Structure 1
C-alpha cells in the first residue's frame, strides 16, 4: 500500500511551481516595461494565475488522496503552497529590487505615488491642497515598502491574506465522501 503524502509534503512542489511562475511573470513584465510592475492589470493577471494554479494543484492532490478532501486538509495544502510560493517570490523580488536593478524601487515609488495622487483626485481631494509634509509622508511610506524590511513586513501582512484566501480555496477544494453518511 502506497503511503499518502501529508498536505505539507504535497504542497511543496506546487508552492515552488507557483512561486517560480509568479517570478517569471514579474521578470517578464520587468523586461518588457518596468512600469508594468505597478499596473493593476499585472496584479489582476497575477491573482488569476495564482488562484488557477492553486485550484489546479489542489484538485490534483485531492485525486491523489482518493478523490475526497476535508476542509482542514484543503486549507493546510492551500496555505502551505501559498506560503512557499510567497517565500520564493519574496526572494526573487529582493534580488530584482536590490541586486539586478537597485534603481527600480525609486521608479516604482514614483509611479505608485503618482497613482495615489490620481486616486485622491478621483475622490475629490485636491492633491495641491495637501500639506507638503503629508505628501512627503506618502512618498516615504511608498518607498519604504520596497526596502528589504518593507518587503518582509509586507510578506508578514501577506500571511493574513494567504490565510483568508486559503479558507476560500479550502471551501472550493473540499469534497466530502457522501457514502459515509447514514
Structure 2
C-alpha cells in the first residue's frame, strides 16, 4: 500500500511540473509569436514534453519501489502525471483564450483557416470543399469549454495508449513462479 501511495505522490508532483511546463510553454508562445500555435512542430514539441515527463514519472516511481515494479504501477505513474499536467494545461488554455485575450483566439482561428485553405488547395481541393471547411471552422469555437473538454478527453485516451507501451517497458517481472 505504501508503494501505491509513493506512485501517486511522485506522479502527482511530476504532473504538476508537467502542467506548469506546458502552461509556461503556451504563455511564452502567446507572448512572443502567437502564430507559432498553428505550426505542426509545436504539437511535436508538446508531445515530446508530455511523454518525456510521463516516462520520468515511471523512472522516479520505480526507483522508490522495494518490490517488483508492476505494469499497474508503471501505468499509474505515467497516467496520473499526464492527467494532472493535461488538466492544468487545458485550464490555462481556456482562461488565456476566453478571458485574458479572446482576440488571440480569433487570430489563431484566422491563421488556421488560411493554412487550411492553402493545404486543401495544394492537395487539389475544390473551391466548394474549401468553402465548406472554412464555414465549419468559423462556426465552431475551438476554445470553448466543451471543445476544450473534448480535446482533453481525446488527449487522455491517446496518451493512455502510449502509457500502456511505456508501462510495458518499465514493468519488472515478478520473481514468483507461475
TM-score range, shorter-chain basis? 0.7 to 0.9
Q: Which residue of 2 is the match for residue 172 of structure 1? A: 169
Q: Distance in 1 between matches of 2:132 and 2:41?
A: 31
Q: Distance in 2 between matches of 1:11 and 1:49?
A: 15
Contact kept in structure 2, 1:11 and 1:78, CA below 8 Å: yes
Deviation string, structure 1 residues 71-125 (Cα, Å, up to 9, x no partner)? 1211122111111111110111112112221111111111221222222223221
1:75 aligned onto 2:75: yes
Q: Which residue of 2 is the match for residue 138 of structure 1? A: 137
Closer/same/farther in 2, CA of residues 131 and 102 from structure 1, 3 Å limit: closer
Give how far 1:181 is off: 4.9
Q: Which residue of 2 is the match for residue 84 of structure 1? A: 84
Deviation string, structure 1 residues 106-150 (Cα, Å, up to 9, x no partner)? 111112212222222232213x24374553123323xx2111221
Q: Distance in 2 between matches of 1:105 and 1:111?
A: 10
In the superposition, the TM-score normalised over structure 2's length comes to: 0.87
Q: Which residue of 1 is the match for residue 113 of structure 2? A: 113
Closer/same/farther in 2, CA of residues 92 and 161 from structure 1, 3 Å limit: same
Unmatched runs of 5 consecutive residues or more in structure 1: none
Alpha-carbon RMSD: 2.2
Deviation string, structure 1 residues 24-48 (Cα, Å, up to 9, x no partner)? 1111111110111121121111111
Q: Distance in 1 between matches of 2:52 and 2:87?
A: 19
Mapping of 1:13-52 within 5 angstroms? 13-52=13-52
In the superposition, the TM-score normalised over structure 1's length comes to: 0.85
